[in-house]
Amino acid sequence: MERDYFLASAIVSPRNVADVQAIVRLANEISFPLWPISIGRNSGYGGAAPRVSGSIVMSMGRNLNKVLEVNVEGAYCVVEPEFLIVGHEGVTFQDLYDYLLANNLRDQLWIDVPDHGGGSVLGNSTERGVGYTPYGDHWMMHCGMEVVLPNGELLRTGMGALPDPKRPETVNLDPEDQPWNKTAHTFPYGFGPYIDGLFSQSNMGIVTKLGMWLMPNPGGYQSYLITLPKDDDLKQAVDIIRPLRLNMALQNVPTIRHILLDAAALGSKTSYSSKTEPLSNDDLNKIAKQLNLGRWNFYGALYGPEQIRKGLWETIKGAFSVIPGVKFYFPEDTPKNSILRVRDKTMQGIPTYDELKWIDWVPNGAHLFFSPIGKVSGEDAMLQYGITKKRCKEAGLDFIGTFTVGMREMHHIVDIVFNKKDPEQRKKAQWLIRTLIDDCAANGWGEYRTHLAVMDQIMGTYNWNNGSLLKFNEVIKDAVDPNGIIAPGKSGVWPTRYIQEGWKL
Ligand code: ADP
């Protein structure tokens, strides 16, 4: 098989941590590559496929799916690779949400969800995925991990490394069943080198449990939409957003969405235009008018009791009002099927399934995410948008994208939507992402996460001082996984043997 064709040879579903350890030990004996997934959606980044064809995919979430704890006082939960209400199939962020509802906990604790409610809490968080409440940086909000190391040993990080005092009822339990230290999910760092990062976007171990902080119900909520009429309003808007986000007047992870992202979630390209080539400025203006949206649309939310929300809204509204033609909406001001009504749920941690309709923008739609990080600066945003828009056009594809605003940076998510049955478009989509990676690196921008096919290329751009980052990762990889059995090639980190065999793409 070609080395860029990603196919598993088999799938195994361990029933418990001991199974994971047994599989890992066996894989070591025969030097066989394993590829752990939780649910395996990983949408836009390669799905459930392994980087090395023929790997055994370990479907961690199939059986390791328990809610281990929801702690109201400490506002955290502990989950296995997938979080499932016993007896349910379909194991997602949705289930965590349903669990809170079923146990009358939602009035106390909120979860944070990504755009699509169908992924796994653990998978998304270890991949450093984002959501849109104030707890939108999932990795920032994790606290305490349990990991099966490549040699089969079980490790708990942070305060989890400190044993819970022995009690008669726990003294004979296997390590994986022992209670966590009482501060394991309230203080992330423990003592000594902080190694949690080694188990995110990585191939250094298989995560079997994860602590996540949950947001206390803020006691009031209001989502809103601010429409920006012109394409280059992006510049001014981003400069307005920066101080508001830094001083937390913008409390959540808001998004600045290009008109076509909203349009594509509401209808296919043919429902707006008979063109097959990329839409023009005029076409986009027409669509914006038709949907009563801006060329850019800013979705945010206010959290807290009414007087707090009122104060924040005055600040935010006042700051944006300097942009000519800007308009402000609450969900009830918009049509029944509006994106604001979907975001209204997402930004309060209610899972939704509406947004992936983007994919149907073209017939037989499939998508790839290109996700560079940028400063929260109008100039940088315009430059990054300009480069990606131009390259999309050269590839014959529409620019569909959004900026999600973190504390001090933006994830610019460009959704490369293409017809997967059209070999020409497939080729162009590949050309596009590869070209954009190089273009962005030349401007000092790197991606936060990526598809299997371009992991090597992206790791190759993180090459400061003769690639010291990758070299360090490779040393660790060989040390902890000498047989190279866990997810070889994940994030461009390869065991020596695979480097010698020329596996890098
Ligand atoms: P989701 O279904 O939420 O999109 P996935 O289950 O597809 O997430 O996981 C995304 C990626 O995260 C996987 O391809 C894998 O590299 C990594 N991953 C997921 N679960 C684990 C785990 N338990 N241990 C180590 N890595 C994992």
Query: For 202-249, what is each residue's pLDDT tens digit?
Result: 999 999 999 999 999 999 999 999 999 999 999 999 999 999 999 999
Cβ contact 466:413 at 8 Å: no
Best of 64, 93, 127 for a ligand 1 pocket test (most atoms within 8 Å of beta carbon): 127
**Confidence check: pLDDT of 85 > 70:** no
Is residue 498 among the annotated active site residues?
A: no
Give the confidence band of 5 by pLDDT, cuts at 50, 70, 90: confident
41 is a catalytic site residue: no
Is the CB of residue 59 below 6 angstroms from any atom belonging to ligand 1?
Answer: no
Q: How far is CA 468 from CA 445, 447, 464, 472, in A?
A: 18, 18, 7, 6
pLDDT value at 66 more than 80: no
In this prediction, residues 450-464 reach a mean pLDDT of: 97
Q: Is 42 in the pocket of ligand 1 (CB under 6 A)?
A: yes
What ipTM was reported for this prediction? 0.94
Length of the chain: 505
Q: Would you state the pLDDT for residue 88?
A: 41
Closest alpha carbon to 361 in 434, 296, 287, 300:
287
CA distance 169 to 161: 20
Distance from the alpha carbon of residue 242 to the mean position of ligand 1, in angstroms: 32
Cα–Cα distance between 290 and 297 in angstroms, integer?
Answer: 14
Residue-level pLDDT at 1: 74
User: Can you tell me the mean pLDDT for 46-67?
Assistant: 89
Q: How far is the CA of 21 from the centre of ligand 1 (A)?
A: 18
DSSP 8-state code for residue 150: T
What is the average per-residue pLDDT within 26-30?
97
Say if residue 435 is exposed, middle or buried (CB neighbours under 10 Å; 0-12, 13-18, 19+): middle
Q: Where are the beta strands (DSSP E) in 337-450?
A: 365-370, 373-375, 401-405, 409-419
Indicate if ligand 1 lies below 6 Å from the C-beta of 58: no
Q: Is 62 a catalytic residue?
A: no
For ligand 1, atom 23, name the residue with the nearest CA: 207
Taking the model in full, what pTM does it have? Answer: 0.95
CA distances from 431 to 47, 153, 373, 419 (A): 20, 42, 20, 14
39 Cβ below 6 A of ligand 1: yes
Q: Is the CB of 62 under 6 A from ligand 1?
A: no
Question: What is the Cα–Cα distance from 270 to 360, expressed in whole angstroms?
Answer: 10
Angle, nearest 10°, between helix axes 281-291 and 259-266?
60
User: What is the Cβ-side half-sphere exposure of residue 426, based on CA atoms within 13 angstroms?
Assistant: 6
Q: Residue 79 — very low, low, confident or very high, per pLDDT cuts 50/70/90? A: confident
Ligand 1 lined by 126 (C-beta under 6 Å): yes
Q: Which residues neighbour 175 within 8 Å (Cβ) at sequence distance 6 or greater?
A: 154
Mean pLDDT over the full length of the chain: 94
> What confidence category does residue 82 fall into, taking pLDDT thresholds of 50, 70 and 90?
low
Strands, sheet with 67-71, edge to edge from the N-terminal-most edge strand: 67-71, 76-79, 206-213, 142-148, 154-156
Options 45, 224, 272, 299, the catalytic residue: 45
